[in-house]
């Protein structure tokens, strides 16, 4: 690496990042936000995806027709848009799991920093977002389960990078929903319909709703619905990853 470029990088980076090793391959070469340049190129991009729910769509000649998936055409989601940074596949899925279940905050920070950069162009498109709101975790889970809300940590990093305020208490989870993993999208939607409550501070604001992974989209839809019911003017969803 040319000396001037190296020097430039050293001077513009926070101190703890100079000699970091890549979280994925251990290389010390051009590590940015915890992942080396070569591993960053190999991360699973989502490609062309549905505007409503971020589901990856097959490329066609007539892209105009294919802006939404069949489900969103049939039943438009409450949020104006959903954007995810990567497909939920190797190694993103492994990093998300390390972050979520093993309290690997370095993995979480890496994912959120890389996603903040990659999603920045979407965020800059008008209408401007007024406030970021993380998907909450029910308090019982917070006390006895994982103990921290990973969406909150992601929202804080997005907020830093995008220079936006965060309202971590604007959305509350009022009913502990059973594990959603075995339910269909329709069942999840029904199960989640009244599980969130949004506060009056979102009134007339364009809310950027932040989550780690969009699986069926039902959680984000229920949260968006409750933000709109509380008077939010618009909700746009931002996530690290989307399951295909
Ligand atoms: Zn690497
Ligand atoms: Zn869709």
CA 215 to ligand 2 center in whole angstroms: 12
Q: Residues near 187 by Cβ (< 8 Å), separated by ≥ 6?
A: none
> CA angle, 176 as apex, 173 and 177 as ends, to 5°?
110
CA 211 to ligand 1 center in whole angstroms: 25
CA 6 to ligand 1 center in whole angstroms: 18
Residue 203 C-beta-side C-alpha neighbours within 13 Å: 3
CA 238 to ligand 1 center in whole angstroms: 25
Contact by Cβ (8 Å): 88, 241: yes
Q: What is the pLDDT of residue 137?
A: 82
**pLDDT, tens only, 193-204:** 678 999 999 999
Confidence band, pLDDT 50/70/90 cuts, at residue 20: confident
DSSP 196: E
Which domains can be identified in the chain, with CATH numbers? 1-42 (no CATH), 44-242 (3.40.50.2020)
CA 66 to ligand 2 center in whole angstroms: 10
**pLDDT, tens only, 112-131:** 999 999 999 999 999 999 99
Closest ligand to C-alpha of residue 67 is 2
H helix or E strand, kind and range, residue 160: helix 150-162
Instruction: State pTM to two decimals.
Output: 0.84
CA 31 to ligand 1 center in whole angstroms: 8
Write out the residues surrounding ion ligand 1, Cβ under 5 A.
22, 24-25, 27, 36, 39
Confidence band, pLDDT 50/70/90 cuts, at residue 84: very high
What is the average pLDDT score of the chain? 86
CA 76 to ligand 2 center in whole angstroms: 8
Q: Which of 91-100, 186-195, 233-242 has the highest mean pLDDT?
A: 233-242
CA 209 to ligand 1 center in whole angstroms: 30
CA 176 to ligand 2 center in whole angstroms: 26
- The whole-angstrom separation of Cα 236 and Cα 119 is 12
pLDDT above 90: residue 232: yes
- The whole-angstrom separation of Cα 9 and Cα 33 is 12
CA 69 to ligand 2 center in whole angstroms: 4
pLDDT above 60: residue 192: yes
Q: Residues near 13 by Cβ (< 8 Å), separated by ≥ 6?
A: none
CA 27 to ligand 1 center in whole angstroms: 5
């Amino acid at each position: 690496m040319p000396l001037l470029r190296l020097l430039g990088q050293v001077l513009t980076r926070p101190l703890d990042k100079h000699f970091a090793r890549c979280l994925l391959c251990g290389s010390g070469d051009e590590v940015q936000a915890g992942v080396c340049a070569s591993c960053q190129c190999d991360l699973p991009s989502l490609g062309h995806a549905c505007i409503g729910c971020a589901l990856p769509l097959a490329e066609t000649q007539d892209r105009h027709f294919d802006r939404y998936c069949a489900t969103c055409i049939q039943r438009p989601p409450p949020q104006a848009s959903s954007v995810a940074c990567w497909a939920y596949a190797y190694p993103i899925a492994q990093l998300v799991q390390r972050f979520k279940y093993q309290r690997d905050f370095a993995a979480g920070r890496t994912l959120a920093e890389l996603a903040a950069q990659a999603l920045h162009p979407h965020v800059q498109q008008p209408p401007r977002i007024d406030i970021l709101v993380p998907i909450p975790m029910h308090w019982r889970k917070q006390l006895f389960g994982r103990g921290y809300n990973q969406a909150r940590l992601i929202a804080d990093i997005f907020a830093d990078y995008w220079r936006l305020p965060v309202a971590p208490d604007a959305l509350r989870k009022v009913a502990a929903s059973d594990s959603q993993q075995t339910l269909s999208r329709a069942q999840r939607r029904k199960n989640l319909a009244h599980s969130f409550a949004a506060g009056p501070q979102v009134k007339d604001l364009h809310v950027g709703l932040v989550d780690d992974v969009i699986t069926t989209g039902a959680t984000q839809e229920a949260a968006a619905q409750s933000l709109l019911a509380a008077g939010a003017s618009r909700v746009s969803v931002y996530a690290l990853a989307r399951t295909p």
